[in-house]
Protein backbone atom coordinates (compact mmCIF):
# COMPACT_ATOMS: atom_id res chain seq x y z
CA UNK A 1 0.00 0.00 0.00
CA UNK A 2 2.71 2.43 1.00
CA UNK A 3 4.47 1.88 -2.30
CA UNK A 4 1.30 2.81 -4.13
CA UNK A 5 1.13 6.11 -2.31
CA UNK A 6 4.76 6.84 -3.14
CA UNK A 7 3.99 6.34 -6.78
CA UNK A 8 0.99 8.61 -6.41
CA UNK A 9 3.10 11.33 -4.86
CA UNK A 10 5.63 11.17 -7.66
CA UNK A 11 2.85 11.32 -10.21
CA UNK A 12 1.34 14.31 -8.43
CA UNK A 13 4.67 16.12 -8.54
CA UNK A 14 4.75 15.48 -12.27
CA UNK A 15 1.26 16.86 -12.91
CA UNK A 16 1.81 20.17 -11.11
CA UNK A 17 3.68 21.99 -13.90
CA UNK A 18 1.37 20.58 -16.55
CA UNK A 19 -1.65 21.82 -14.63
CA UNK A 20 -0.18 25.31 -14.47
CA UNK A 21 0.34 25.55 -18.19
CA UNK A 22 -3.19 24.36 -18.83
CA UNK A 23 -4.54 27.72 -17.75
CA UNK A 24 -2.82 29.52 -20.60
CA UNK A 25 -4.95 27.50 -22.98
CA UNK A 26 -8.17 29.04 -21.78
CA UNK A 27 -7.23 32.58 -22.73
CA UNK A 28 -8.60 32.61 -26.28
CA UNK A 29 -8.85 36.14 -27.66
CA UNK A 30 -12.27 37.55 -28.37
CA UNK A 31 -12.95 38.23 -32.01
CA UNK A 32 -14.95 41.37 -32.60
CA UNK A 33 -16.73 42.11 -35.82
CA UNK A 34 -14.83 44.81 -37.68
CA UNK A 35 -16.41 47.61 -39.59
CA UNK A 36 -16.21 47.28 -43.38
CA UNK A 37 -12.90 48.74 -44.56
CA UNK A 38 -12.58 50.92 -47.62
CA UNK A 39 -10.45 49.49 -50.39
CA UNK A 40 -6.96 50.92 -50.47
CA UNK A 41 -3.66 50.24 -52.13
CA UNK A 42 -1.44 50.74 -49.07
CA UNK A 43 -0.62 47.31 -47.63
CA UNK A 44 -0.77 46.98 -43.83
CA UNK A 45 2.32 46.39 -41.74
CA UNK A 46 3.41 42.75 -41.45
CA UNK A 47 2.96 40.76 -38.22
CA UNK A 48 5.75 41.83 -35.88
CA UNK A 49 6.91 38.30 -34.93
CA UNK A 50 6.27 34.63 -35.65
CA UNK A 51 7.20 31.65 -33.49
CA UNK A 52 6.38 27.99 -33.99
CA UNK A 53 6.82 25.05 -31.64
CA UNK A 54 5.64 21.54 -30.99
CA UNK A 55 2.30 21.69 -29.21
CA UNK A 56 3.05 20.61 -25.67
CA UNK A 57 0.30 21.83 -23.43
CA UNK A 58 -1.95 18.90 -24.09
CA UNK A 59 -0.49 15.52 -24.83
CA UNK A 60 -0.97 14.61 -28.46
CA UNK A 61 -0.03 12.10 -31.12
CA UNK A 62 2.57 14.47 -32.48
CA UNK A 63 0.06 15.78 -34.99
CA UNK A 64 -0.10 19.34 -33.66
CA UNK A 65 2.17 22.38 -33.98
CA UNK A 66 1.48 25.64 -32.19
CA UNK A 67 2.01 28.94 -34.02
CA UNK A 68 2.07 32.34 -32.29
CA UNK A 69 2.66 35.80 -33.70
CA UNK A 70 2.66 39.46 -32.73
CA UNK A 71 -0.13 41.60 -34.19
CA UNK A 72 0.59 43.78 -37.16
CA UNK A 73 1.05 47.43 -36.10
CA UNK A 74 -2.04 48.22 -38.20
CA UNK A 75 -4.21 45.64 -36.41
CA UNK A 76 -6.39 47.47 -33.92
CA UNK A 77 -4.14 50.55 -33.98
CA UNK A 78 -2.15 52.50 -36.60
CA UNK A 79 -4.07 52.51 -39.89
CA UNK A 80 -6.40 49.99 -38.27
CA UNK A 81 -7.13 48.30 -41.58
CA UNK A 82 -5.99 44.69 -41.04
CA UNK A 83 -8.89 42.34 -41.79
CA UNK A 84 -7.04 39.12 -41.20
CA UNK A 85 -3.95 36.95 -41.54
CA UNK A 86 -3.08 34.18 -43.97
CA UNK A 87 -0.99 31.32 -42.59
CA UNK A 88 0.87 28.99 -44.96
CA UNK A 89 2.96 25.90 -44.41
CA UNK A 90 5.78 24.47 -46.52
CA UNK A 91 8.15 21.53 -46.38
CA UNK A 92 11.20 23.48 -47.56
CA UNK A 93 12.78 26.72 -46.41
CA UNK A 94 11.88 29.81 -48.43
CA UNK A 95 8.82 28.29 -50.05
CA UNK A 96 5.35 29.73 -49.40
CA UNK A 97 3.69 26.33 -49.60
CA UNK A 98 0.01 25.61 -49.04
CA UNK A 99 -2.39 28.03 -47.36
CA UNK A 100 -3.43 26.53 -44.03
CA UNK A 101 -6.06 28.95 -42.93
CA UNK A 102 -7.31 32.51 -42.95
CA UNK A 103 -7.40 33.93 -39.48
CA UNK A 104 -9.38 36.93 -38.24
CA UNK A 105 -7.64 40.08 -37.12
CA UNK A 106 -6.85 40.37 -33.43
CA UNK A 107 -5.92 36.68 -33.11
CA UNK A 108 -2.33 35.79 -32.22
CA UNK A 109 -2.36 32.01 -31.92
CA UNK A 110 -3.15 29.05 -34.13
CA UNK A 111 -2.80 25.33 -33.67
CA UNK A 112 -2.06 23.34 -36.80
CA UNK A 113 -3.71 19.97 -36.16
CA UNK A 114 -2.85 18.36 -39.46
CA UNK A 115 0.88 17.71 -39.31
CA UNK A 116 2.59 14.36 -39.84
CA UNK A 117 4.40 13.38 -36.64
CA UNK A 118 8.15 13.86 -36.94
CA UNK A 119 8.09 15.82 -40.23
CA UNK A 120 9.72 19.24 -40.20
CA UNK A 121 7.63 22.18 -41.42
CA UNK A 122 8.25 25.85 -42.24
CA UNK A 123 5.52 28.41 -41.63
CA UNK A 124 4.91 31.89 -42.98
CA UNK A 125 2.33 34.54 -42.26
CA UNK A 126 1.03 37.71 -43.96
CA UNK A 127 -1.52 40.23 -42.81
CA UNK A 128 -3.94 41.74 -45.30
CA UNK A 129 -6.54 44.48 -45.50
CA UNK A 130 -8.90 42.83 -47.93
CA UNK A 131 -7.04 44.05 -51.02
CA UNK A 132 -3.29 43.89 -50.50
CA UNK A 133 -1.09 41.63 -48.39
CA UNK A 134 1.78 42.75 -46.19
CA UNK A 135 5.32 41.45 -46.33
CA UNK A 136 5.80 37.83 -45.28
CA UNK A 137 7.28 36.73 -41.93
CA UNK A 138 8.88 33.31 -41.68
CA UNK A 139 9.54 30.72 -39.00
CA UNK A 140 10.66 27.13 -38.71
CA UNK A 141 11.57 24.42 -39.05
CA UNK A 142 9.74 22.54 -36.37
CA UNK A 143 8.21 19.09 -36.05
CA UNK A 144 5.40 17.60 -33.99
CA UNK A 145 6.52 14.98 -31.52
CA UNK A 146 4.34 12.34 -29.97
CA UNK A 147 4.03 12.36 -26.20
CA UNK A 148 4.33 9.28 -24.07
CA UNK A 149 1.64 10.17 -21.59
CA UNK A 150 -1.77 11.67 -22.12
CA UNK A 151 -1.76 14.23 -19.34
CA UNK A 152 -5.36 15.16 -19.92
CA UNK A 153 -6.24 11.68 -18.70
CA UNK A 154 -4.12 11.79 -15.60
CA UNK A 155 -7.15 11.90 -13.31
CA UNK A 156 -8.40 8.64 -14.86
CA UNK A 157 -5.10 6.99 -14.03
CA UNK A 158 -5.17 8.24 -10.44
CA UNK A 159 -8.65 6.82 -9.84
CA UNK A 160 -7.72 3.57 -11.55
CA UNK A 161 -4.71 3.18 -9.26
CA UNK A 162 -6.83 3.97 -6.20
CA UNK A 163 -9.52 1.49 -7.27
CA UNK A 164 -7.12 -1.30 -8.15
CA UNK A 165 -5.22 -0.76 -4.92
CA UNK A 166 -8.42 -1.17 -2.92
CA UNK A 167 -9.47 -4.27 -4.84
CA UNK A 168 -5.98 -5.74 -4.40
CA UNK A 169 -5.97 -4.96 -0.69
CA UNK A 170 -9.35 -6.51 0.07
CA UNK A 171 -8.60 -9.51 -2.11
CA UNK A 172 -5.43 -10.06 -0.07
CA UNK A 173 -7.33 -9.61 3.21
CA UNK A 174 -10.01 -12.06 2.09
CA UNK A 175 -7.37 -14.49 0.88
CA UNK A 176 -5.88 -14.56 4.36
CA UNK A 177 -9.15 -15.94 5.66
CA UNK A 178 -10.87 -12.84 7.02
CA UNK A 179 -14.64 -13.23 6.85
CA UNK A 180 -16.20 -10.66 4.56
CA UNK A 181 -19.86 -9.80 4.97
CA UNK A 182 -21.89 -9.79 1.77
CA UNK A 183 -25.53 -8.78 1.89
CA UNK A 184 -28.23 -11.09 0.61
CA UNK A 185 -29.00 -10.61 -3.07
CA UNK A 186 -32.73 -11.39 -3.44
CA UNK A 187 -32.57 -12.69 -7.01
CA UNK A 188 -29.91 -15.26 -6.19
CA UNK A 189 -32.04 -17.58 -4.09
CA UNK A 190 -34.70 -17.21 -6.74
CA UNK A 191 -32.36 -18.82 -9.30
CA UNK A 192 -32.03 -21.94 -7.17
CA UNK A 193 -35.75 -22.04 -6.42
CA UNK A 194 -36.55 -21.74 -10.12
CA UNK A 195 -34.22 -24.58 -11.04
CA UNK A 196 -35.65 -26.62 -8.20
CA UNK A 197 -39.18 -26.13 -9.44
CA UNK A 198 -38.23 -27.14 -12.97
CA UNK A 199 -36.77 -30.34 -11.53
CA UNK A 200 -39.96 -31.08 -9.61
CA UNK A 201 -42.03 -30.57 -12.73
CA UNK A 202 -39.63 -32.63 -14.81
CA UNK A 203 -39.25 -29.79 -17.30
CA UNK A 204 -36.09 -28.16 -18.66
CA UNK A 205 -34.33 -24.99 -17.53
CA UNK A 206 -33.72 -22.30 -20.16
CA UNK A 207 -30.63 -20.14 -19.68
CA UNK A 208 -30.16 -17.19 -22.06
CA UNK A 209 -26.70 -15.59 -21.69
CA UNK A 210 -27.79 -12.41 -23.49
CA UNK A 211 -26.87 -11.35 -26.99
CA UNK A 212 -23.62 -9.64 -26.04
CA UNK A 213 -20.32 -10.79 -27.53
CA UNK A 214 -17.90 -12.58 -25.22
CA UNK A 215 -15.84 -9.41 -24.81
CA UNK A 216 -18.81 -7.91 -22.94
CA UNK A 217 -18.13 -8.29 -19.23
CA UNK A 218 -21.85 -8.95 -18.68
CA UNK A 219 -21.48 -12.08 -20.80
CA UNK A 220 -18.51 -13.21 -18.73
CA UNK A 221 -20.48 -12.68 -15.52
CA UNK A 222 -23.31 -14.63 -17.09
CA UNK A 223 -21.04 -17.58 -17.94
CA UNK A 224 -19.99 -17.63 -14.29
CA UNK A 225 -23.58 -17.89 -13.16
CA UNK A 226 -24.22 -20.48 -15.89
CA UNK A 227 -21.50 -22.65 -14.40
CA UNK A 228 -23.34 -22.54 -11.04
CA UNK A 229 -26.73 -23.27 -12.63
CA UNK A 230 -25.27 -26.14 -14.67
CA UNK A 231 -23.94 -27.76 -11.51
CA UNK A 232 -27.44 -27.78 -10.02
CA UNK A 233 -29.08 -29.16 -13.17
CA UNK A 234 -26.33 -31.78 -13.45
CA UNK A 235 -27.03 -32.93 -9.92
CA UNK A 236 -30.75 -33.31 -10.52
CA UNK A 237 -30.51 -34.49 -14.11
CA UNK A 238 -32.66 -31.60 -15.31
CA UNK A 239 -32.17 -30.68 -18.98
CA UNK A 240 -30.47 -27.29 -19.42
CA UNK A 241 -31.08 -25.44 -22.71
CA UNK A 242 -28.68 -22.60 -23.55
CA UNK A 243 -29.55 -20.68 -26.73
CA UNK A 244 -26.89 -18.20 -27.85
CA UNK A 245 -26.65 -15.41 -30.38
CA UNK A 246 -22.86 -15.46 -30.74
CA UNK A 247 -20.78 -18.38 -31.90
CA UNK A 248 -17.92 -17.77 -29.47
CA UNK A 249 -20.33 -17.49 -26.55
CA UNK A 250 -21.83 -20.80 -27.68
CA UNK A 251 -18.49 -22.56 -27.63
CA UNK A 252 -17.60 -21.01 -24.26
CA UNK A 253 -20.99 -22.06 -22.88
CA UNK A 254 -20.36 -25.61 -24.12
CA UNK A 255 -17.07 -25.71 -22.21
CA UNK A 256 -18.62 -24.23 -19.08
CA UNK A 257 -21.57 -26.62 -19.00
CA UNK A 258 -19.53 -29.71 -19.90
CA UNK A 259 -17.04 -28.82 -17.17
CA UNK A 260 -19.82 -28.34 -14.59
CA UNK A 261 -21.36 -31.73 -15.44
CA UNK A 262 -17.96 -33.37 -15.13
CA UNK A 263 -17.23 -31.71 -11.78
CA UNK A 264 -20.52 -32.88 -10.32
CA UNK A 265 -19.77 -36.38 -11.56
CA UNK A 266 -22.60 -36.70 -14.03
CA UNK A 267 -20.85 -36.21 -17.39
CA UNK A 268 -23.22 -38.57 -19.22
CA UNK A 269 -26.16 -36.26 -18.57
CA UNK A 270 -24.51 -33.53 -20.66
CA UNK A 271 -26.34 -33.09 -23.94
CA UNK A 272 -24.36 -31.04 -26.50
CA UNK A 273 -27.51 -30.49 -28.57
CA UNK A 274 -28.92 -28.29 -25.84
CA UNK A 275 -26.22 -25.64 -26.21
CA UNK A 276 -27.38 -23.99 -29.41
CA UNK A 277 -26.30 -21.21 -31.68
CA UNK A 278 -29.45 -19.67 -33.14
CA UNK A 279 -28.68 -16.45 -34.98
CA UNK A 280 -26.50 -13.37 -34.84
CA UNK A 281 -29.55 -11.33 -35.88
CA UNK A 282 -31.24 -9.87 -32.81
CA UNK A 283 -34.87 -10.57 -33.61
CA UNK A 284 -34.24 -13.81 -35.43
CA UNK A 285 -32.64 -14.93 -32.17
CA UNK A 286 -35.50 -13.63 -30.05
CA UNK A 287 -38.07 -15.27 -32.33
CA UNK A 288 -36.29 -18.61 -32.13
CA UNK A 289 -35.96 -18.45 -28.32
CA UNK A 290 -39.68 -17.71 -28.14
CA UNK A 291 -40.22 -20.86 -30.18
CA UNK A 292 -38.16 -22.89 -27.69
CA UNK A 293 -40.19 -21.50 -24.78
CA UNK A 294 -43.49 -22.51 -26.33
CA UNK A 295 -42.43 -25.88 -27.71
CA UNK A 296 -39.98 -27.29 -25.19
CA UNK A 297 -41.82 -25.70 -22.26
CA UNK A 298 -39.01 -24.89 -19.83
CA UNK A 299 -40.32 -24.30 -16.30
CA UNK A 300 -37.57 -21.84 -15.41
CA UNK A 301 -36.24 -19.09 -17.68
CA UNK A 302 -33.04 -17.37 -16.63
CA UNK A 303 -31.94 -14.30 -18.58
CA UNK A 304 -28.47 -13.20 -17.53
CA UNK A 305 -26.20 -10.91 -19.49
CA UNK A 306 -26.47 -8.10 -22.02
CA UNK A 307 -29.92 -7.62 -23.52
CA UNK A 308 -31.34 -5.02 -25.85
CA UNK A 309 -34.90 -4.53 -27.10
CA UNK A 310 -35.52 -8.28 -27.24
CA UNK A 311 -35.71 -8.38 -23.41
CA UNK A 312 -39.45 -7.85 -23.25
CA UNK A 313 -40.15 -10.16 -26.21
CA UNK A 314 -38.50 -12.98 -24.26
CA UNK A 315 -39.87 -12.13 -20.83
CA UNK A 316 -43.49 -11.72 -21.96
CA UNK A 317 -43.48 -14.94 -23.95
CA UNK A 318 -41.86 -16.73 -21.04
CA UNK A 319 -44.54 -15.44 -18.70
CA UNK A 320 -47.27 -16.60 -21.05
CA UNK A 321 -45.64 -20.04 -21.15
CA UNK A 322 -45.93 -20.11 -17.36
CA UNK A 323 -42.25 -20.26 -16.47
CA UNK A 324 -40.62 -18.80 -13.36
CA UNK A 325 -38.36 -16.05 -14.64
CA UNK A 326 -35.22 -14.55 -13.16
CA UNK A 327 -33.33 -11.87 -15.08
CA UNK A 328 -30.05 -10.12 -14.52
CA UNK A 329 -28.56 -7.33 -16.59
CA UNK A 330 -26.67 -4.08 -16.34
CA UNK A 331 -28.36 -2.68 -19.46
CA UNK A 332 -30.11 0.28 -17.89
CA UNK A 333 -32.56 0.70 -20.73
CA UNK A 334 -33.84 -2.88 -20.40
CA UNK A 335 -34.08 -3.07 -16.61
CA UNK A 336 -37.60 -1.55 -16.52
CA UNK A 337 -38.89 -4.36 -18.72
CA UNK A 338 -37.24 -7.18 -16.82
CA UNK A 339 -38.36 -5.68 -13.52
CA UNK A 340 -41.97 -5.59 -14.67
CA UNK A 341 -42.11 -8.91 -16.53
CA UNK A 342 -39.90 -11.24 -14.46
CA UNK A 343 -40.28 -12.63 -10.96
CA UNK A 344 -36.87 -11.45 -9.86
CA UNK A 345 -34.27 -9.20 -11.43
CA UNK A 346 -30.61 -8.74 -10.62
CA UNK A 347 -30.12 -5.04 -11.31
CA UNK A 348 -26.91 -3.50 -12.59
CA UNK A 349 -24.01 -4.29 -10.30
CA UNK A 350 -26.00 -7.11 -8.67
CA UNK A 351 -25.28 -9.19 -11.77
CA UNK A 352 -21.52 -8.90 -11.22
CA UNK A 353 -21.90 -9.29 -7.47
CA UNK A 354 -23.97 -12.44 -7.96
CA UNK A 355 -21.31 -13.99 -10.11
CA UNK A 356 -18.67 -13.27 -7.47
CA UNK A 357 -20.98 -14.34 -4.66
CA UNK A 358 -21.88 -17.69 -6.20
CA UNK A 359 -18.26 -18.71 -6.53
CA UNK A 360 -17.79 -17.96 -2.78
CA UNK A 361 -14.12 -17.59 -3.59
CA UNK A 362 -12.61 -15.08 -1.18
CA UNK A 363 -10.53 -13.64 -4.00
CA UNK A 364 -13.66 -12.63 -5.85
CA UNK A 365 -15.43 -11.29 -2.78
CA UNK A 366 -12.51 -8.94 -2.22
CA UNK A 367 -13.45 -7.22 -5.45
CA UNK A 368 -16.93 -6.54 -4.08
CA UNK A 369 -15.53 -4.86 -1.01
CA UNK A 370 -13.18 -2.82 -3.21
CA UNK A 371 -16.09 -1.66 -5.36
CA UNK A 372 -18.01 -0.59 -2.27
CA UNK A 373 -15.13 1.49 -1.04
CA UNK A 374 -14.80 3.04 -4.48
CA UNK A 375 -18.43 4.12 -4.12
CA UNK A 376 -17.55 5.77 -0.83
CA UNK A 377 -14.63 7.53 -2.53
CA UNK A 378 -16.89 8.66 -5.39
CA UNK A 379 -19.49 10.04 -2.98
CA UNK A 380 -16.77 11.83 -1.04
CA UNK A 381 -15.39 13.31 -4.25
CA UNK A 382 -18.85 14.52 -5.28
CA UNK A 383 -19.22 16.15 -1.87
CA UNK A 384 -15.77 17.71 -2.24
CA UNK A 385 -16.76 18.91 -5.70
CA UNK A 386 -19.91 20.55 -4.35
CA UNK A 387 -17.89 22.36 -1.70
CA UNK A 388 -15.22 23.32 -4.24
CA UNK A 389 -17.88 24.81 -6.51
CA UNK A 390 -19.33 26.73 -3.60
CA UNK A 391 -15.99 28.34 -2.78
CA UNK A 392 -15.18 28.98 -6.45
CA UNK A 393 -12.59 26.23 -7.01
CA UNK A 394 -13.96 25.31 -10.44
CA UNK A 395 -10.65 23.74 -11.49
CA UNK A 396 -11.19 20.92 -8.97
CA UNK A 397 -14.41 19.93 -10.72
CA UNK A 398 -12.83 20.44 -14.13
CA UNK A 399 -10.22 17.86 -13.17
CA UNK A 400 -12.93 15.20 -13.41
CA UNK A 401 -14.28 16.39 -16.76
CA UNK A 402 -11.61 14.74 -18.90
CA UNK A 403 -11.93 13.81 -22.52
Within 86-105, the residues that bind other proteins by CB under 8 A are none
DSSP, collapsed to helix, strand or coil, labels residue 324 as strand
62 to 26, 92, 200, 367: CA distances (angstroms):
21, 20, 66, 38
> In the window 168-187, what residues touch other proteins (CB under 8 A)?
180-183, 185
Residue 41 or residue 391: which is nearer to other proteins going by CB? 391
CA–CA dist 161, 169 (Å, integer): 12
Residue from 25, 40, 280, 395 in contact with other proteins (CB under 8 A): 280
Q: What's the min distance (Å) between Cβ of 399 and other proteins? A: 8
Is residue 253 a contact partner of residue 223, using CB atoms and an 8 Å limit? yes
Q: Which of 90, 259, 264, 269 binds other proteins (CB under 8 A)?
A: 259
402 near other proteins (CB under 8 A): yes
Question: Which positions from 355 through 374 interact with other proteins, judged by CB under 8 A?
Answer: 355-356, 363-364, 367-372, 374
Q: Is the peptide bond before 141 cis (omega within 30 degrees of 0)?
A: yes
Give dist(CA 129, CA 43) in Å, integer: 7
Site for other proteins contains 83 (CB under 8 A): no
Residue 375 within binding range of other proteins, rule CB under 8 A: yes
* Interface with other proteins (CB under 8 A), residue from 52, 86, 198, 221: 221
Own/partner pairs, 351-356, CB within 8 angstroms, 24+ separation = 351/218, 351/221, 351/222, 351/304, 352/217, 352/221, 353/182, 353/185, 354/185, 354/187, 354/188, 354/221, 354/225, 354/328, 355/221, 355/222, 355/224, 355/225
Task: Tell me if residue 296 falls in helix, strand or coil.
Answer: coil
CB–CB of 62/118 below 8 Å? yes
Residue in 230, 182, 199, 215 with CA at minimum distance from that of residue 364: 182
Residue 199 C-beta: closest distance to other proteins, Å: 20
Q: Give the residue, chosen from 263, 267, 360, 395, that forms a contact with other proteins under the rule CB under 8 A.
A: 263
Does residue 397 belong to the site contacting other proteins (CB under 8 A)?
yes
How far is Cα 85 from Cα 341, in angstroms, rounded to an integer? 65
Q: Binder to other proteins among 101, 213, 266, 269 (CB under 8 A)?
A: 213
Minimum distance from CB of 7 to other proteins (Å)?
14
Q: What is the pattern of x (binds other proteins, CB under 8 A) and - over residues 122-161?
A: ------------------------xxxxx--x-xxx-xx-
* 278 touches other proteins (CB under 8 A): yes
Q: Which is nearer to other proteins, 3 or 183 (CB)?
A: 183
Would strands 65-70 and 109-112 be described as parallel, antiparallel, or unpaired? Answer: antiparallel
Check binding of 229 to other proteins (CB under 8 A): no
Per-residue contact string for residues 288-317; x = within reach of other proteins by CB under 8 A: x-xx--xx-------------x--xx-xx-
Q: Does residue 398 interact with other proteins by CB under 8 A?
A: yes
Amino acid sequence: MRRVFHILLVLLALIAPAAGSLEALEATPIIEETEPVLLDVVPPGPPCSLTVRDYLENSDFGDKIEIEWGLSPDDGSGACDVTGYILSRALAEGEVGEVLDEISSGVTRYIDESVEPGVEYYYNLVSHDGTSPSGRVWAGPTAGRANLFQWSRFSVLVLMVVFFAMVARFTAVAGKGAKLFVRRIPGLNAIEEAVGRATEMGRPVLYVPGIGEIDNIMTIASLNILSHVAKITARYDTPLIVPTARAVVMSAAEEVVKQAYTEVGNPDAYNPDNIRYLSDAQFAFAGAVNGIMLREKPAANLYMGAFWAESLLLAETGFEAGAIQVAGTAMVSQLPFFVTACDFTLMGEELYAASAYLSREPKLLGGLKGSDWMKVVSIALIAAGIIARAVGLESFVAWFQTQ
